[in-house]
Amino acid sequence: MLFTEIKLIEPIQKALVKSGYVSPTPIQEKAIPKILEGKDVFGIAQTGTGKTAAFTLPILQLMFNSNKRLNTPRTLILAPTRELAAQIGDSIREYGSFTHFRQTVIFGGVGQGAQEQALGRGVDIIIATPGRLLDLIEQGHVKLQTIEFLILDEADRMLDMGFITDVKKIIAKLPKKRQSLFFSATMSKSVMELANTFLQNPVKVEVTPESSTVEKIEQGVYFVDNVEKDKLLLNIIKPKKINSVLIFTRTKHKANKIAEFLCRNNIKADAIHGNKSQPQRVTALNNFKSGFIKALVATDIAARGIDIDNISLVINYELPIEPESYVHRIGRTARAGQEGIAYSLCCAEERDYLRSIEKLIKRTIPVMEHDRHSNFAQNAFGKDAKPSKDKNKQRGGRQQGGGSAGQKHEQNKAKKSFKTNFNKNKDSSKSTEDNKHKKKSY
């Protein structure tokens, strides 16, 4: 199917030609006609499927056709993160370059002066994260009585991040007569309940269910002991001619540590997570997009909605606790139909996380063969396959004698790794980090 076969007005067709889009993606093909008919839509689609254009194009058209040029907001788009809100703003600028609506992006973590001024000048479209928007509403800087179109994007993440009360307060201020669109990457009971509270007779459109990982992504798992992960990471990245690698960790602290470690090893890297200020995040993202830094280390929430087209490699330095996050993470590569690679480093205590992921995606991730392979991690079961709850307590002197098989294994491995490094440093000419990364059938 071609875009020209969907009844889109000329200013939008022109913008699509300018963007180089020829055919609608499946979510666009399904959602655009329904939205143009004026229906409420409940869309299940992940980032990377083209969902932003799926809701933006028809809304721009509906606004354009009704030809009202009021000085008041007509469309409200709510997004869970600043990055996603900013990206939706960029998309609207791109797709709306011939419809000329005024828009502004509202999010927290920065001063509100510029946002107040933009609202004061009058806008047609507001893209916002819930917390800051609510602040501005309460301070009287924005009124929502003229909203005709509401879009809630990444609703599942809104729920995860605890924004739902703010979202409900905002929705309560909107006119009852409006068209509402609701997008979520996953469908759970709480997502359904939320959708039911504000959609009227919605049409459901669904693409790429959560459990089916984007087919084009080549996936692999490296079983490795925790203490060896840093070196393995270098071994994976260094020999490959990779332009951009996105690395995931579970914590902000770890993200910083890895970015620092990579920089020390001559790989330009930066970290992006919730503790970074908005200007720091923007700089890191821009540097990554421009190729100035090669590696971006991110936590799940910060990475949500990162829309960079040419990420060739995603590495899960640590596996996520929620299996659905794996699908989101690896979906950062293979965007808009391109191919991509996603590798995961799995130590013993993450073994059960990997099992949950494989259950969700209904396939076994191929095992990568490498010099630091850990049979212990690969075969971990029971207590050894889970993070130990009392690990922190065991950091004291008493840990030496106790601990599970896993902890003893890691302690031995750490000692061995120290000795090996010591010997290598004595004769660096012998150190060969040139690794073979081959898939092993399993």
The string of DSSP codes covering 40-54 is: -EEEE--TTSSHHHH
Could you tell me if 48 and 30 are in contact, meaning their C-beta atoms sit under 8 angstroms apart? Answer: no
Name which of 51 and 413 has its Cβ closer to ligand AMP: 51
Name which of 39 and 335 has its Cβ closer to ligand AMP: 335
Name which of 47 and 344 has its Cβ closer to ligand AMP: 47
User: What's the closest the beta carbon of residue 308 comes to ligand AMP, in angstroms?
Assistant: 8
DSSP-based three-state secondary structure for 70:
coil
How far is the C-alpha of 295 from the C-alpha of 293, rounded, in Å? Answer: 6
Could you tell me if 27 and 51 are in contact, meaning their C-beta atoms sit under 8 angstroms apart? Answer: yes
Q: What is the H or E stretch that residue 13 is in?
A: helix 10-19
Cα three-residue angle 33-37-42, rounded to 5 degrees: 70
The mark string for 233-272 relative to ligand AMP (x by CB under 6 A, - otherwise) is: ----------------------------------------
Name which of 157 and 413 has its Cβ closer to ligand AMP: 157
Q: Is 58 in the site for ligand AMP (CB under 6 A)?
A: no
Name which of 21 and 376 has its Cβ closer to ligand AMP: 21
How far is the C-alpha of 321 from the C-alpha of 11, rounded, in Å? Answer: 45
User: What's the closest the beta carbon of residue 88 comes to ligand AMP, in angstroms?
Assistant: 8
CA 374 to chain centre: 29
Q: Is 48 in the site for ligand AMP (CB under 6 A)?
A: yes
Residue 102, CA atoms < 13 Å, CB-side half-sphere: 13
How far is the C-alpha of 289 from the C-alpha of 274, rounded, in Å? Answer: 19
How far is the C-alpha of 286 from the C-alpha of 247, rounded, in Å? Answer: 16
The string of DSSP codes covering 376-396 is: HHHH--GGGGS--TTTTGGGS
How far is the C-alpha of 76 from the C-alpha of 148, rounded, in Å? Answer: 8
Name which of 18 and 439 has its Cβ closer to ligand AMP: 18
DSSP H helical ranges for 96-240: 113-121, 130-138, 155-160, 164-172, 189-198, 229-237
Name which of 307 and 318 has its Cβ closer to ligand AMP: 307
Q: Which of 12, 39, 52, 171 binds ligand AMP (CB under 6 A)?
A: 52
Q: Is 41 in the site for ligand AMP (CB under 6 A)?
A: no
Could you tell me if 96 and 123 are in contact, meaning their C-beta atoms sit under 8 angstroms apart? Answer: no
Name which of 304 and 413 has its Cβ closer to ligand AMP: 304
Name which of 88 and 144 has its Cβ closer to ligand AMP: 88
Q: Which stretch binds ligand AMP (CB under 6 A): 43-51, 95-103, 249-257, 313-321?
A: 43-51
How far is the C-alpha of 293 from the C-alpha of 284, rounded, in Å? Answer: 8
Name which of 85 and 262 has its Cβ closer to ligand AMP: 85
Q: Is 50 in the site for ligand AMP (CB under 6 A)?
A: yes
Q: State the DSSP code for 81.
A: S
Name which of 49 and 219 has its Cβ closer to ligand AMP: 49
Q: Which of 12, 15, 24, 147 binds ligand AMP (CB under 6 A)?
A: 24
Query: How many residues interact with ligand AMP (rule CB under 6 A)?
Result: 15
Q: Which of 157, 335, 351, 372 binds ligand AMP (CB under 6 A)?
A: 335
Q: Is 307 in the site for ligand AMP (CB under 6 A)?
A: yes
The pair phi, psi for residue 21, each rounded to 5°, is -85, 135
User: What's the closest the beta carbon of residue 117 comes to ligand AMP, in angstroms?
Assistant: 28
Q: Which two tokens stand for residue 140?
A: 């009287």
User: What's the closest the beta carbon of residue 337 comes to ligand AMP, in angstroms?
Assistant: 7
Could you tell me if 170 and 78 are in contact, meaning their C-beta atoms sit under 8 angstroms apart? Answer: yes
Q: Is 309 in the site for ligand AMP (CB under 6 A)?
A: yes
Q: Is 51 in the site for ligand AMP (CB under 6 A)?
A: yes
Contacts of 298 (CB under 8 A, 6+ apart): 246, 247, 248, 249, 255, 271, 272, 273, 306
Q: Is 114 in the site for ligand AMP (CB under 6 A)?
A: no
Q: Is 21 in the site for ligand AMP (CB under 6 A)?
A: yes
Q: Which stretch binds ligand AMP (CB under 6 A): 45-53, 75-83, 294-302, 375-383?
A: 45-53
Q: Which of 25, 75, 99, 374 binds ligand AMP (CB under 6 A)?
A: 25
Q: Which of 336, 363, 423, 439 binds ligand AMP (CB under 6 A)?
A: 336
Cα three-residue angle 27-311-94, rounded to 5 degrees: 50
User: What's the closest the beta carbon of residue 59 comes to ligand AMP, in angstroms?
Assistant: 14
Q: Which two tokens stand for residue 350?
A: 């993450």
Q: Which of 29, 49, 183, 380 binds ligand AMP (CB under 6 A)?
A: 49
How far is the C-alpha of 86 from the C-alpha of 371, rounded, in Å? Answer: 42
Residues in the site for ligand AMP, rule: CB under 6 A? 21, 24-25, 28, 47-53, 307, 309, 335-336
